[in-house]
Amino acid sequence: QAMAGLRSIMQSDPTDPDPPYYIARGLIQEGQDDIRLRGDHAAATDHYTQAGATVDDAVRRQPGSPMILLRAGQVYALLDIAVPRSVSKGAYDQACAVYLDRARSLVRPQDKDFEEVQSTYASRKMQEHQFSEAENVFRDLMQRYPADVKVRLLLAELLQGKRETRKEAADLLADT
């Protein structure tokens, strides 16, 4: 019932990034339940494929929307966790990177979602051990949003990992 309601919203307002995201998340959860509760890998694969297709369709409808691209990247990040790399061959990770890179290239500093797109991109770079890129993005965000607690915490988390920047991380946290 909830999925039908979300599909209806998605059809009536294709610019809203949240319905396809939550539909896809629900499908991923169903796929995980297929495996955990029933041991049905074929059904799980079908649900995972539907999740990807849901966000891919949303991107096709709104290819210039940074938030739809961001949500698609987030779904593919979840799929990358849910599906072993031996099965996915890294396809979900690649799709995640493509969508997050596109979202980042389209979002503008004056957009209300600029910080969310940038911090999600940088967080993904941290996961990929591309710490220098992540640090550059977080430092830029700190310049733009010096009072933003989330950005401070994310930058501090990154900086505490290196001996030479631990004091700076502690200072950021002290000012939070």
pTM of the entire structure?
A: 0.89
Predicted pLDDT at 138: 96
* pLDDT, position 8: 82
Amino acid identity, position 114: F
Q: What is the DSSP string of 60-112?
A: HH-TT-HHHHHHHHHHHHHHHHHS-HHHHTTHHHHHHHHHHHHHHHH--TTST
Exposure string for 72-98, b = 16+ CB within 10 A, e = fewer: bbbbbbbbbebbeeeebeeebbebbbe
Q: In tens digits, what is the pLDDT along the chain, a chain of 176 residues?
A: 777 778 887 788 888 999 999 999 999 999 999 999 999 999 999 999 999 999 999 999 999 999 999 999 999 999 999 999 999 999 999 999 999 999 999 999 999 999 999 999 999 999 999 999 999 999 999 999 988 999 999 999 999 988 999 999 998 888 77
Q: Tokens 């210039």, residue?
A: 64
Give the per-residue pLDDT at 12.
81
Looking at residue 14, its pLDDT comes to 84
pLDDT of 175 reads: 77
Three-state DSSP state, 133? helix
